Amino acid sequence: MPWKGELFGWQAEYNPERSEVPLDSKMTFTPADFCIGESGIWFFSLIWEHGKHAEPEEFLDDRNIFL
């Protein structure tokens, strides 16, 4: 079941794996994905490109976080 809401004060969403083939893609299914944050400020995402039994690919954009 897809989910969209707020987590730790950031917008977030999760979309489960689907058997439908994505438009204009060679993939045989639509992978599950999760993302949180706001692009340009701080953003993290996971995508299960190789299926639900494989480790997800991670992407982190934190270039605008200054400590």
pLDDT, tens digit, 9 for 90 and up, residues 47-67: 999 999 999 999 999 888 887
pLDDT, tens digit, 9 for 90 and up, residues 9-30: 999 999 999 999 988 889 899 9
Dihedral angle, C-alpha 6, 8, 9, 10, nearest 10 °: -60
Using CA atoms, how far apart are residues 21 and 39, in angstroms rounded to an integer?
A: 26
- List the chain domain ranges: 3-50
Q: Which residue type, as a one-letter code, is found at position 46?
A: L
Strand positions, DSSP E, 1-67: 3-7, 10-15, 33-38, 42-47, 57-61
Q: In 3D, which of 50, 40, 48 has the Cα closest to residue 16?
A: 48
